[in-house]
Amino acid sequence: MSGNIKLDVSALTEKRQSLEFTVPAQDIDLGSEGIILRSDVRMTVVADNDENRLELTGRIVTEAETVCSRCLKPIIRVEPIEFDVRYVKPEDFGSDEESEVESEDLLTDILTSDEIDITEVAREQLLLDIPVRIYCQEDCRGLCEKCGADLNLIDCKCSDNEIDPRWAALKNIG
């Protein structure tokens, strides 16, 4: 993906450097994950550069739309995402240790070139932040399996054998 934003690590001359990126929403494809970005992704990043280690601490701001896993109602997420990724130079790790590093600390990546794909970092962080199953409210009742009605809004009475206690009480009044 040539359109991705790249951070040139060799150009980081200072030990600590603040960076800003704007990744166009269309460059981050999360459609297959059921997530639509409603605005460009703004990133502020502080790069801490050590001899053999690079740490990026940052914040991502965007408007992401997904749907409730039960009732399919759209959910907009606007809270900033804080993130922290660490990179180590490959020469500091033998091939055996490489896999060890990954399993010990999922946030540590091996720096395989002088470039870090910022667009990919944004994509990964968005995926980590938005759970696969998300609900509009904790006790969302979802949709009726038979008629598709939103059970948060109406009681369609499709499940006759499962009498809601509230309706049972009303029957007793009559």
Q: Which residues bind Zn ion (CB under 5 A)?
A: 68, 70-71, 73, 136, 140, 144, 146-147, 149, 156, 158
Rank residues 69 and 108 by Cβ distance to Zn ion and give the closer one.
Answer: 69
Q: How far is residue 164's CA from residue 148's CA, in Å, rounded to a whole number?
A: 18
| Minimum distance, C-beta of residue 151 to Zn ion, in the bound complex (Å) | 8
Rank residues 20 and 162 by Cβ distance to Zn ion and give the closer one.
Answer: 162
Q: How far is residue 3's CA from residue 23's CA, in Å, rounded to a whole number?
A: 10
Q: How far is residue 136's CA from residue 171's CA, in Å, rounded to a whole number?
A: 31
Rank residues 126 and 151 by Cβ distance to Zn ion and give the closer one.
Answer: 151
| Minimum distance, C-beta of residue 80 to Zn ion, in the bound complex (Å) | 24
Q: How far is residue 62's CA from residue 166's CA, in Å, rounded to a whole number?
A: 42
| Minimum distance, C-beta of residue 164 to Zn ion, in the bound complex (Å) | 13
Rank residues 110 and 136 by Cβ distance to Zn ion and give the closer one.
Answer: 136
